[in-house]
Every structure is written in structure tokens, then in C-alpha cells.
Amino acid sequence: MATIKDVAALAGVSFTTVSHVMNQTRPVSAPVEAKVRAAILQLNYVPSGVARSLRGSQTGTIGLLVPNNTNSYFAELARGIEDYCERNGYCVFLCNSDDDVRKQQNYLRVLREKRIDGLIVASAGDDAVLADLLAAARVPVVMVDRQIAGLEADAVQIDHEAGAYLATRHLLELGHRNIACIGGPQGMDVSALRLDGFRRAMAEREISILPEAIVQSDFSSLGGYDAAKRLFHTVKPSAIFAGNDMMGIGALRAAAELGLRVPGEVSVIGFDDIELGRYVFPALTTVGQPILLLGETTAHTLLARIGGSLSGPPHRQVVPPRLTLRESTGPVPARSRSIPE
């Protein structure tokens, strides 16, 4: 790879002259500038972004940490963030932690070495070490979707508890009483908040929840599939609230394999409003917000903090959820169907 000294040698000038031509920091005669630019083209020289950042105050890059980029929610969120940043002259380094706390910490160390201007984090879970690393990062940080205990940072997230309450209330208004819940992983705030919303809606109608009617699993289609099959063979619910849309899609698959008509014999509602939910069959009823817009809101918050238009203590934005009615929910069936073993 060519260096600035290679360019200088080919052009027959000093490397400081090459620097002045490239950075327009001092007038250079037209013939000399022409020789330097010709050498740059001939050697295909690309200046070091890291070196430029050491001379300036910003690099025009931000870091984005997500827990699982195969999850459509985080893929759409990242797209919203990237689109907004690109329109505003920033590049995004995307890092996927695979829900691995140690991998998440390693990525953060790498991003700090890249001298990023700011950082957006959708955490893989509560992590005291990550909280300390982020606090010491000395760049603006925005938490999205999930927060980390003990970290004072800007945050943008949907109201998880209210969304789960809204989803469960929709099922109750359709006449369902035997409602099961597929919750997210234990020990995660998002999972706990969505379970709280489910429980609150059921408590308002004074409906008891059997312990086996709540199954916690991974936020994935496989997690939803396995949990739904278990529920169909135990509590035989007339409706399921799935902790996210990927789980809901897995539950739809489990129902289809058992010959259960949706929503004729069982209703399923998800959470997040991912684009894929519109195209499965039947289309998934869900609660959430436009994910691209959530990503753009997050990126706007970070760039405002970087640019100085947002100052003062951490700013927390809680986005209210909305119900999106599709085809996977309907009135409670007249009678339940036996599930084959």
C-alpha cells in the first residue's frame, strides 16, 4: 500500500508539500500540484482516516452495537440509523454481539480504538463491565431499545410494558380468557417489562394466570416455535401473546404443524411490528412503532449530542406503542380443539 512518502518521492517533492496539496493548508504552485495529483493517481494512494482524525476533532464515524443482526427488528433498526447518518455525512460501524456479553465488550474496545464520534448501543443484557466501559468512552452514547443499569446516557425506547398491556387487552376484548404468554429470556429488562404488561392486563379482568401459561424463551422464531408447541400440549390456549414478532412467527408455524387454524382456533399477537410480519400467513397482528423511524430518532439524538444542539443531562425518549391489526387474531373460538400427541 502506497504511503505519503511514496507519493512525495514519485512527484519529486517533500511529503509536507503532498500534505499541503491534499489538505489545502498552504498555497502550492499549479505545476507542483499537478505533479502531486498525478502521483496520487498513479500510486492509487488513499490517505489514512485514522491519521486525519488525530489532526482533527471528529472522524465522521459512529459505532452501532446490536445483539443479533439476524433478528429482523435489529436489522430494520440498523437501516434506519444508517440512512439518517448517511444523509448527515456520517458512516456507521456495525457490530453484532450475538447476545454475547464478552463479545459486546470486545467490540466496544475496538470501536474506541477507531476514534468514533459517538456510539449507539442495543445491549445484549445488563452488564456492569460494559456500563463502566461506556462511561469511560468519552464520546456521546445513546442506548436504544434496552438500557443498562448504572449507566447515565441518552436513551430511545418503546414503552415495553404498555405495549404488552395493549396486546393482551386486544385479546381480552376479543373474548379470550385462556391466554398464554411466550416471554423473552430471563434476566433481561425488556422481557420483564413485557411480562409485567401481560400480567397487568390479565389482573384488570381478574383472570388468574397458570404458572405453565407463561413460557420464557429466546427472542427468536425457534424460541417461539418451541414454546408454542409446549403450550399447545399443556394449557391449550385460545390465544398467545408472543414477546416479539419473531416468536409470534414461530408460534404460527407450530400451530400450522398441529393443524390449528389461525385465528379460527387460536389467535397470535406479537410485539415490534417488523416488516416480515406483514408477509407471513396469516399476517401477524402486533404492537410497536415504525422501526425505521425509531432508528432515525436514535441517530438524530446522537448527532444532536455530537453537534452540541442537545446538551445537559441524559435525555430519555419513551415512544408509545400502537396496535396494528392484521389477520392472526380473532374472536375466541366456540370450543377448543384437542391437540394430537
DSSP 165-202: HHHHHHHHHTT--SEEEEE--TT-HHHHHHHHHHHHHH
Architecture of domain 61-158+290-319: 3-Layer(aba) Sandwich (3.40)
Q: How far is CA 183 from CA 47, 65, 215, 257, in A?
A: 50, 23, 6, 21
Q: Are strands 322-324 and 285-288 parallel, antiparallel or unpaired?
A: antiparallel
The closest alpha carbon to 77, from 92, 90, 89, 88, belongs to 92
CATH of region 160-288, choose from 3.40.50.2300, 3.40.630.30, 3.40.50.11270, 3.40.50.9100: 3.40.50.2300
Mean pLDDT of the 284-311 span: 92
pLDDT given at position 54: 46
pLDDT given at position 139: 87
Segment 45-90, tens digit of pLDDT? 766 554 544 444 577 899 999 988 888 999 999 999 999 999 998 9
Least confident stretch, 55-59, 93-97, 180-184, 233-237: 55-59
Q: Which backbone phi and psi does 62 adopt, to 5 degrees?
A: -130, 155
Mean pLDDT of the 134-155 span: 84
Cα maximum dimension of the chain: 89
Q: Please answer whether residues 118 and 299 qualify as being in contact, where contact means their C-beta atoms are separated by less than 8 angstroms.
A: no
Question: Residues of CATH 3.40.50.2300 domain(s) within the chain?
Answer: 61-158+290-319, 160-288
Q: Please answer whether residues 76 and 274 qualify as being in contact, where contact means their C-beta atoms are separated by less than 8 angstroms.
A: yes
Segment 201-232, tens digit of pLDDT? 999 999 999 999 999 999 999 999 999 999 99
pLDDT band per the 50, 70, 90 thresholds, residue 15: confident
Q: What is the 3-state secondary structure (H, E, C) of 70-107?
A: CCHHHHHHHHHHHHHHHHCCCEEEEEECCCCHHHHHHH
CB burial of residue 195 (10 Å; 0-12, 13-18, 19+) = buried
Grid cell locating 80 = 434506519
Report d(CA 127, CA 120) in Å as an integer: 16
Please state the pTM of the whole predicted model.
0.80
Q: Could you report how far apart the first and last alpha carbons of the chain are, in Å?
A: 65
Report d(CA 101, CA 185) in Å as an integer: 14
